[in-house]
Amino acid sequence: MENDNAKFKNEFKKRLYNWVLRLIKFIDKLPKDSVCHVLGKQLLRSGTSILANYIEANSASSKKDFINFFTHSLKSANESKVWLTLLRDTDKGDKNELVWLLKELIEIANILASSILTLKGRINFIILICHFDF
């Protein structure tokens, strides 16, 4: 039987994977114009990087390496928020899917940031989460 920590890690990995799948489908359905082409490519890179770095962390050779992969994953999440926000504010893409992707991404970023704080064992740490209230 899985312990709570292992169960949470497994569920988070599935949640992140499903978010990336929905992101890919969202990007694939963007209008075929120059703005969406550029923003879509950037979003595809940063969005898939969140998952890739999270997976890499699981085979890290040290705690420092593990934290670095989590940090890169969080940075990619913050970058992805920029591209999604720009698409939202330029009225590109499915509005309902954009709302869901942004909401889920914020929750994912919060989990990553919280994990980094726990791994570093610090209470007073500079907040790594970037919020966009444009």
Give me the pLDDT at residue 1, please: 55
Alpha carbon distance 9, 19 (integer Å): 15
- Note the pLDDT tens digit of each residue in 9-63: 899 999 999 999 999 999 999 999 999 999 999 999 999 999 999 999 989 999 8
Query: What band does 133 get if pLDDT is binned at 50, 70 and 90?
Result: low
Give me the pLDDT at residue 129, please: 46
In this structure, are residues 56 and 69 in contact, taking their beta carbons and an 8 Å threshold? Answer: yes
Average pLDDT of the segment spanning 90-97: 97
The SS3 call for residue 34 is: helix
Least confident of 19-23, 92-96, 128-132: 128-132
Alpha carbon distance 130, 15 (integer Å): 21
Query: What band does 130 get if pLDDT is binned at 50, 70 and 90?
Result: very low
Mean model confidence pLDDT for the chain: 90
